[in-house]
Chains A and B, each alone.
Chain A
Amino acid sequence: MYRSAVEQIGEGGINLIKTFWYISRGKINYEEVARQIVTTGIGSLFIASITASFVGLVLTLQISNQLRQFGAEHFIGAIVSSSAIRELGPIISAIVVSGRVGSAVSAEIGSMKSSEQIDALIVFGIDPVRYLIVPRLLASAIITPLLCSLSTFLCIMSGMVLANSAFNLSFDTYLDTVRLVNTTYDVSVMLLKACIFGITIAIVATTTGLQVRGGAEAVGEAATKTVVWNYILIFIFNYFISSYFFRVGYE
């Protein structure tokens, strides 16, 4: 277990470096990137929207009850929006992309590996990193921030609707406090975070897929392994990115 974890991280790191090397040399099949964005992005829209909206609702519910005790309901917008922008949006989108796209990519590449299609690429002199990882990584690095923006937006909007209907808070008051506490800096960090999560998800998924050895069972295991690894890495990275930008942002 310990050894396989080290191997996994090492191989992922090598794939990441190779991928950036190909990207820096412009070895990008844009058509394939677009195809990946469309096929994976559209599939994730629905889940991301539902998840984000309900997180917004439940967050507003909990926070409003707390704030009301101090007569501070009009700050609901500030708290919901800053939670959404700083933490929830990036995390929700990463979880959706990891579960929906990461597992599918890993199963796709895993089944290519188990049916010798990856070997066939290598014999042709086509590097699977350039041909398979580069477009998937770029697509994931673009899709995740987009889904994150949508998730964050829906989270804030659903909170606004609930705050209005259940606690009689006007849309204007809600939005005023949203504007008050969030800066462009916060939004940039949010997008950067989502982008890093997208890259992580793609590297873990493709590396795990390429490591498949055996038949259908191994492909299924790879998909599961991808999701588990991604959840672990996303939550760890999230803490460190947050704490880094927290310090930098307020110096």
Chain B
Amino acid sequence: MNNFDKNEPIVSFKNVCVAFKNTRVLKDLSFDIYPGEIVTIAGPSGSGKSTILKLLGNIIRMDSGEIVVNASRLGMAFQKSALFNSMTIWKNVALALEETTNLSKKKIRKKVKETLEMVSLSYTENMYPDELSGGMQKRISIARALVVSPEIILYDEPSTGLDPGIASKLEDDMIKLRDKTGVTSIVVTHDVETIKKVSDRVLVLYDGKIKWEGTKNEFITDNSPYPRSFRERCTIEDLLSQT
């Protein structure tokens, strides 16, 4: 279905199951992601998108299945930014390097400076997160994910809660970043504009499984209910019951 290079996947989910209490969220979920691509996992709210990212980030554990990740460093930009609100922006970005690497103070300073420049927010370094707008917080959250030079970056609903113009700029940055660094990008969202803009490939998550998979163009043109529900902003259930 996709025309992306079929080399070794960098992330591979095989029959992954996750349940919380009595609700099964992921049911035998399987998919592959290849190095350097921007893959969007689209799904309605509550379908388990964040759960997938949390599995990759080792925040939660799966009940069964297998996840293979061929990367040693991973960054995550959280839905609610999740900046450390007791720390300055500088400290937010520097923390991972300070706590988990043996880099010298000087090297850390250089790296943090570069990373803040990458998101054009150097001037905020002495501010605290709550002094920044929502869009700026998201960009700092991305900078914080990038500072460890990750091979994979995870974006949880990057455009949610942002004005359309600001969201669009953020999406430009995500694409530029991949083009510049080659970082594999996994984006989860239900925002059709984000899907149409950033994706090389789209996976639609529904009822705990990938129900549809295709390129961005296929997502825009395919008449299956899964991509259509996003384009027409209606629920998948409605479209499924019509057919």
Contacts and interface: CB of A to CB of B under 8 A. Distances in A.
Interface in B62-96: 74-76, 78-80, 82-85, 95-96
B99 A120 contact: no
Contact of A116 (B75, B80, B95): B80
Contacts of A124: 95-96, 99-100, 148
A218 to B, nearest CB: 15
Interface in A91-116: 112, 115-116
Interface string A118-140: 01101111100001000000000
Nearest to B144: A120
Given A116-B78, A119-B59, A126 B95 contact: yes
A66 interface: no
B110 to A, nearest CB: 19
A87 B39 CA distance: 63
Chain A contact-residue range equals: 10 to 19
B161 interface: no
B95 to A, nearest CB: 7
A176 to B, nearest CB: 51
B54 A119 contact: yes
Contact of A117 (B57, B74, B84): B84
Contacts of B74: 123
B95 A115 contact: no
Given A116-B80, A117-B84, A123 B99 contact: no
Nearest to A122: B59
Chain A interface SS verdict (over half): helix
A119 B50 CA distance: 12
B78 A120 contact: yes
A117 B129 CA distance: 12
A115 B144 CA distance: 16
B58 interface: yes
A125 B72 CA distance: 11
B186 to A, nearest CB: 13
A117 B95 CA distance: 12
Contacts of A115: 80, 82, 85
Contact of B96 (A112, A117, A119, A126): A126
Interface of B: 54, 57-59, 74-76, 78-80, 82-85, 95-96, 99-100, 144, 148
Interface of A: 112, 115-117, 119-120, 122-126, 131
7 contacts: A115-B85, A119-B76, A120-B84, A123-B75, A124-B99, A126-B99, A126-B100
Top 8 A-B pairs, shortest CB-CB distance: A116-B82, A123-B57, A124-B96, A120-B82, A123-B76, A116-B78, A119-B59, A125-B100
Given A117-B82, A123-B58, 8 more contacts: A115-B80, A116-B80, A119-B76, A120-B82, A122-B59, A125-B99, A126-B99, A131-B99
